[in-house]
Amino acid sequence: MFPAILVLLLVAQNPTSSELMTRAGKAFAADDFVAAERDLRAVVQMEPSNFDAQSYLGHALFRQEKYQEAIAPYEKALALEGKTKKLVMQEHRILIDQLVMSYGLTGNLAKVHRLLDEAIQRDPEYPLNYYNRACAFAEAGEKQKALTNLELAFARKKNILKGEQMPEPLKDSSFQRYLRDADFLALMKKLGLG
């Protein structure tokens, strides 16, 4: 038999996935994304099908600007959503937004377009699907498609998630090349943004 103190030490050194999730949640809430990442990595190693651990690992990595690393847990969470977890629309929107931004920030515009095309088919009234697509077109130098999608996004702005605001194209790095473009500026004026 192990002495009680040794058992307690062993348990403290080997926390359960539930304990790790609780600790990661506290770290995440305190903006300690490094600690959250550490605990979430341990959980996904123990339970690869843990949707919450996968999605929050993606969030923790994203918040540290580890966009390439965030892609794998977000993709895993998306796959798990289809198999094991039914998300409410708001949660699904956040997952897609984060995955799209991760791919966009790493330059994989083809993947961005595929994800957004699927997202728009599933959820045609969500403005950030169009806004993110406008960003991808702008990054690729496809001005007219970018402007069209910006207009579609702002036409749906009433459908933004509670607590969020529509992004500001004039401050968005994706549109910097168009800050002196007459068509872009005319659209900004039409949308009441410039």
d(CA 194, CA 187): 8
pLDDT at 6: 39
> pLDDT of 133-174, one tens digit each?
999 999 999 999 999 999 999 999 999 999 999 999 999 999
Looking at 8-12, 18-22, 120-124, 135-139, which range is the least confident one? Answer: 8-12
pLDDT at 122: 92
> pLDDT of 18-48, one tens digit each?
999 999 999 999 999 999 999 999 999 999 9
Per the CB < 8 A criterion, the answer to whether 64 and 36 are in contact is no
User: Quick one: which H or E segment has residue 52?
Assistant: helix 51-63
Q: Of 173, 168, 131, which Cα lies nearest the Cα of 153?
A: 131
pTM of the model: 0.85
Question: Rounded mean pLDDT of the chain?
Answer: 91
Cα–Cα separations (whole angstroms), residue 184 to 143, 170, 176? 8, 9, 10
